[in-house]
A and B are shown apart, each in its own frame.
Chain A
C-alpha cells in the first residue's frame, strides 16, 4: 500500500517547455488535489477533482491543466512553463470531498 505516489521527483525545464506531473493513489479515494508550495507560503490549491470525471479550479489555476484519467490517477500539465512556476508540487487524495487529505512526496520543479 504505497498511498499517494508522484513522478518525477525532480524536473528542470526551460521556459516554454511543457510537461506533465503524474499522481496516483491506491487508497480507493474519490477526491484528488494538486497543490504548490513556495518559500514563505503555505500550500495553495491549483486544481482538484471531487470525483472521477470532474475537475475544478482552485486558488491558483492559471498556467495549468489537469486530467482525472481514472479513479486512481490525476495528472497536472504545464503547457508552456514559466519561471514563476518554479515550485514544489504536491498531490493529495481524500476519501470524499472535505475529508482528511493525504499527500504524496512532492515534485520539485525548476523552470529556467
Chain B
C-alpha cells in the first residue's frame, strides 16, 4: 500500500518553461511535506518543504503547493534550467513520528 505516489515516472520540459511535478498521498495524518532532488550517484538533496498549515511555500524558482482536501502537492519550477534535470522525490511525514514516506520519484529532463 503506497501512501505517497508520484504517478509520472518522467517529464520533459523545454528550458525556460515551467516544470510541474505532482505527488499524491493517502494518509490524512501527514502534516509535513518535502521535495528532494537527486542527481545520479549522489544522495538526495533537500529542496523545499511545506507544513500542512500552509498551502504554498516559495523559494526562488521553486514553489510547492499543497491541496489538503485533495491530498495532493505539486512542485513548480519556473523557469526550468538544464541543471534542474534530476530525479525529484516527494516525501511526507506525520510530525509526531520520525518517519518520512517517500514517493517513487519523477525524472525531470530539461531540454536546452
Contact = CB atoms under 8 A, between A and B. Distances in A.
A103 B44 contact: yes
B59 interface: no
A40 B104 contact: yes
Nearest to B48: A100
A4 B42 CA distance: 12
Interface residues of A, number: 25
B-side interface size class? 20 to 34
Contacts of A98: 32, 93, 95-98
A42 B32 contact: no
Interface in B39-93: 41-46, 49, 89, 91, 93
A71 interface: no
B36 to A, nearest CB: 8
B98 A105 contact: no
A93 to B, nearest CB: 11
Given A43-B100, A98-B96, A100-B49, 4 more contacts: A31-B98, A40-B104, A45-B99, A105-B42
Interface of B: 4, 32, 34, 36, 41-46, 49, 89, 91, 93, 95-105
